[in-house]
Every structure is written in structure tokens, then in C-alpha cells.
Amino acid sequence: MKYIAISKFAGSMIRHGATLIGGYLVAEGWTDENTAQQIVGGLTAAGGLALSLLEKKARI
């Protein structure tokens, strides 16, 4: 149960951090909105995969 709570917290932090990075890139003019959405999606997917692997490793 402890791992589920940590996973939910970490997943939320990854999503918000990725959104923050994407917003910063758009605000600074380094990228457009569509590219920022792709970056955020990729970071969120990679973070979810990493959390899944860590959870499975912790169970073993």
C-alpha cells in the first residue's frame, strides 16, 4: 500500500513538472504549443514507465 501512495504522489509531481517545463519553453519562445504538448506527453510516459519499473523492483 505504501508503494501505491508514493507512486500516486510521484506521478503527480512528474506530470506537474513536465507541464511546468513545457509552459516555460513556450513562454520563452523556444517551442510552439504542439511541440510542448509532445514533450510533456513524452516526459509523463517516461516517468510512468520509470515508476512502474521501480514498483516492480521493490516487490521482488
Q: Is 36 exposed, middle or buried, given 0-12, 13-18 or 19+ CB atoms closer than 10 A? A: buried
d(CA 7, CA 48): 9
**Residue holding cell 511541440?**
35
43, 18 Cβ separation under 8 angstroms: yes
Element (H, E) at 60: none
Quickly state the pLDDT bin for 6 (edges 50, 70, 90). Answer: low
pLDDT tens-digit profile of 9-23? 777 888 888 899 989
pLDDT tens-digit profile of 35-52? 999 989 998 899 888 888
How many CA atoms lie within 13 Å of 10's alpha carbon, on the beta-carbon side? Answer: 16
pTM higher than the cut 0.85: no
